[in-house]
Every structure is written in structure tokens, then in C-alpha cells.
């Protein structure tokens, strides 16, 4: 059994990470950490078995009071029965905790995006590359991108391989509307984001990861983007919409359109077209079209987090992070989104993807 601690007690940790950890037989949840004692206790009460609680700020004391030393994150990371941590903290808070956990010799699965921007992400990757553990084996660092583990998208990637041929074009379309009562919008660090792109960064890396997974089935990736961005809904600062043309490593073009401010149109879909046919994906359907006709397969909507967690556990057992969870893949997702934002800010300047 691998002893695990969950660092973070927010919405996604409560609704996805906790049940995902408990669904993997080889993982044993030992502890939960949150900035506040109350949020840590709330999440701990939802666990199937008793877990220890760690925090920075005791209940009812306000920001000024620091919790007892034996309840700090450092105390949690010093435990020898905890081998790995799952980190689900706000975007700006994660990098320091990732470094601290890796220095403590813990395997890490951190939430996407890998960092707030490309520069910070590269710094983290350089830190990890230079990490020395003495005689101990270096811990694994994986970055969670649950979209790559959704059964429908994984099936679509296999269909692209089966259809084969040379890439002709592709498209990514995501339209959504963030209600004021949306549970994610109501979190303070998302209401007034101190990082680029707002929801376009936080959610956009998911959609880009989905497109990139399908393109990778043809050994293709995005190499350049040209985009225009807009703020359609004032509360979704700094921008909520981007429309772009993207170029692949072999010079084929396609489109990327992502909006969180479109009230009367919603849905996510990706399509890849080759000289042999096409594959269309949305979270509940995969359609394949070739000269032999069209076939459709339906799927239950799944988050992919349980599959992602199982892959992390298997990676620990094997001693190697799988490609879909490497920080380098997460960096590429992040860079595509960042270059889309930069291109939009520069009124359609061409931006290269260099990671």
C-alpha cells in the first residue's frame, strides 16, 4: 500500500480527488491538509476511513494565529508512512508546495495547470531535473490532466490511429457560460484572478490537452497560433473568449475557439480530419467517418480523475511517470493557451510554441 496525503480541500479535491484516491486499492489515504483547520476537518469527515488533519490556521483564530507545529504541512511531509501527495491548491499556491513535497522525497501528483505561466513552469521543471535525493531514488512528479483519461477521449484517440492517413485539418470548439452562482466562479481566487487568462487558463488547458491527444495519434502537435481574444462578460476578467487558427508541426492548419462568456451556445467538441476520414469527439460521443460509412459510439460522461489516479499509482509501482502525466506535456498544454492569450493581446500576432 502507498500512503497518500491530499493537500487541498476545495471543490475538486472534495468531489473528485477524495473518491478517486479511495477507488485505487493500492493507495491508502493517511492525511488531509488545508490552509484552514475547518476546511481540512470538513473534507476529512467525508473520507471513508479516519485520516489525520493538518492546517495552517486554527478554527476561529483568524489569519494571525498559526496552528501548532505538529499540525503543519512540514510535519505532514516528515511522516515516513506517507509516500505520495496529491496537490489540489490554487494555481499561485501550488509551485512552492510541489517543491516542498519533492524535496521531502514524496511522489507528487499536482493539478493542472502546471504553473501560472510558461516561465514558472520551466522553473519548476528545471528544479525537478536538478533535484538530488542522495542515496534515495528520486520521487516521481506527475501533473494531472484528467481529460486525457476520460474513456471517450481515449477511445477517440484510438479511432484516429485506426483511421490513419495524413492530417488534413482539425477544430476545437468550446462554448460555455459561467453563471454568477457557479461553484467554481464563487471561489475568491477565481473571481479576481492574479494569473493570466482567468477561466481561459484554468479550463483552457483541458480542451487543448484533448486536441493535442488526438493530434498525437497522427504524430502531430501544435507549433504556431494566431488568435483574437475578447471579454464578453465583464465579471470574467481578464478575457473570456479566444478565436484562433493553429498550425501543426507539419504545416497543417485548424481552428481553436474557446469561450466562457457565450450564454446561448454551449458544448465541447473536437474533430480531426485526415486523408482517410474523420473522428469527432465530445464527452459523450465518438463518431468516425470513412469511405465505408459513419459509426457512432456513446459514452457515459466521466471526469477521468479515477483513471488518472490509477495511472499515478501504477507509475509509482513501475518507478516511471507515464507520458500523459509528465510535466513536459502539461507545459505544452499551458504554452498553447498562453500563446493564444498573447496573440490575442497583440491583435493577432503569430506566436510559436517552443516547449
CATH number of 25's domain: 3.40.50.720
Per cent of the chain over pLDDT 70 is: 97
Distances in Å between the alpha carbon of 51 and those of 33, 72, 114, 158, 200?
A: 10, 15, 27, 40, 35
pLDDT in tens, 322-344: 999 999 999 999 999 999 999 99
Q: What is the C-alpha to C-alpha distance for residues 342 and 348, in angstroms, rounded to an integer?
A: 9
Q: State pTM to two decimals.
A: 0.94
Tell whether the model's pLDDT for residue 192 goes beyond 90: no
Helices (H), the chain: 11-12, 18-23, 37-45, 73-77, 94-103, 118-129, 151-163, 188-191, 199-202, 204-216, 305-318, 327-345
- Domain termination site, one of 118, 145, 172: 145
Tell whether the model's pLDDT for residue 191 goes beyond 80: no
Total of domains in the chain: 2
Tell whether the model's pLDDT for residue 62 goes beyond 70: no
Q: How does the average pLDDT of the chain come out, rounded? A: 95
> Do 164 and 35 fall within a single domain?
no
> Do 204 and 348 fall within a single domain?
yes
- Average of pLDDT values for 212-222? 98
pLDDT bracket for residue 66 (50, 70, 90): low
> Do 137 and 193 fall within a single domain?
no
Tell whether the model's pLDDT for residue 58 goes beyond 60: yes
What phi, psi does 163 have (nearest 5°)? -65, -45
pLDDT in tens, 234-251: 999 999 999 999 999 999
Q: What is the C-alpha to C-alpha distance for residues 229 and 129, in angstroms, rounded to an integer?
A: 35
pLDDT in tens, 273-317: 999 999 999 999 999 999 999 999 999 999 999 999 999 999 999
Please, what is the end-to-end C-alpha distance for the chain in angstroms? 36
**Residue span of the structural domain in which 58 resides:** 2-145
Q: What is the C-alpha to C-alpha distance for residues 258 and 209, in angstroms, rounded to an integer?
A: 13
CATH number at residue 202: 3.30.360.10
Q: What is the C-alpha to C-alpha distance for residues 138 and 291, in angstroms, rounded to an integer?
A: 50
> Do 152 and 63 fall within a single domain?
no
Q: What is the C-alpha to C-alpha distance for residues 31 and 84, in angstroms, rounded to an integer?
A: 11
Amino acid at each position: 500500500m502507498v500512503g497518500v496525503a491530499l493537500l487541498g480541500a476545495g471543490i475538486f479535491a472534495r468531489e473528485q480527488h477524495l473518491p478517486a484516491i479511495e477507488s485505487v486499492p493500492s493507495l491508502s489515504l493517511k492525511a488531509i491538509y488545508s490552509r484552514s483547520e475547518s476546511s481540512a476537518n470538513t473534507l476529512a469527515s467525508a473520507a471513508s476511513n479516519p485520516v489525520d488533519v493538518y492546517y495552517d490556521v486554527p478554527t476561529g483564530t483568524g489569519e494571525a494565529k498559526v496552528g501548532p507545529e505538529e499540525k503543519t504541512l512540514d510535519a505532514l511531509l516528515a511522516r515516513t508512512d506517507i509516500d505520495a501527495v496529491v496537490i489540489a491548491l490554487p494555481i499561485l499556491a501550488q509551485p512552492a508546495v510541489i517543491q516542498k513535497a519533492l524535496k521531502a522525497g514524496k511522489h507528487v501528483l499536482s493539478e493542472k495547470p502546471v504553473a501560472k505561466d510558461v516561465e514558472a513552469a520551466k522553473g519548476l521543471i528545471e528544479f525537478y531535473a536538478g533535484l538530488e535525493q542522495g542515496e534515495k531514488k528520486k520521487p516521481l512528479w506527475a501533473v494531472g490532466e484528467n481529460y486525457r483519461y476520460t474513456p471517450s477521449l481515449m477511445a477517440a484517440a484510438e479511432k484516429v490511429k485506426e483511421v490513419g492517413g495524413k492530417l488534413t485539418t482539425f477544430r476545437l470548439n468550446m462554448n460555455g457560460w459561467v453563471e454568477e452562482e457557479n461553484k467554481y466562479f464563487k471561489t475568491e481566487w477565481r473571481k479576481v484572478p492574479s494569473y493570466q487568462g482567468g477561466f481561459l487558463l484554468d479550463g483552457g488547458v483541458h480542451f487543448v490537452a484533448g486536441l493535442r491527444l488526438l493530434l498525437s495519434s497522427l504524430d502531430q502537435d501544435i507549433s504556431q497560433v494566431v488568435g483574437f481574444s475578447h471579454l464578453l462578460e465583464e465579471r470574467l476578467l481578464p478575457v473570456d473568449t479566444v478565436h484562433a487558427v493553429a498550425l501543426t508541426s507539419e504545416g497543417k492548419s485548424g481552428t481553436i475557439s474557446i469561450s466562457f462568456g457565450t450564454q446561448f451556445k454551449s458544448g465541447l467538441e473536437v474533430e480531426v480530419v485526415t486523408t482517410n476520414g474523420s473522428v469527432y469527439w465530445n464527452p459523450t460521443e465518438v463518431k468516425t467517418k470513412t469511405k465505408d460509412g459513419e459509426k457512432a459510439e456513446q459514452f457515459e460522461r466521466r471526469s477521468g480523475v479515477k483513471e488518472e489516479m490509477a495511472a499515478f499509482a501504477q507509475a509509482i509501482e513501475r518507478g516511471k511517470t507515464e507520458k500523459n502525466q509528465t510535466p513536459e506535456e502539461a507545459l505544452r498544454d499551458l504554452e498553447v493557451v498562453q500563446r493564444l492569450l498573447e496573440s490575442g493581446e497583440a491583435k493577432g500576432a503569430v506566436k510559436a510554441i517552443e516547449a
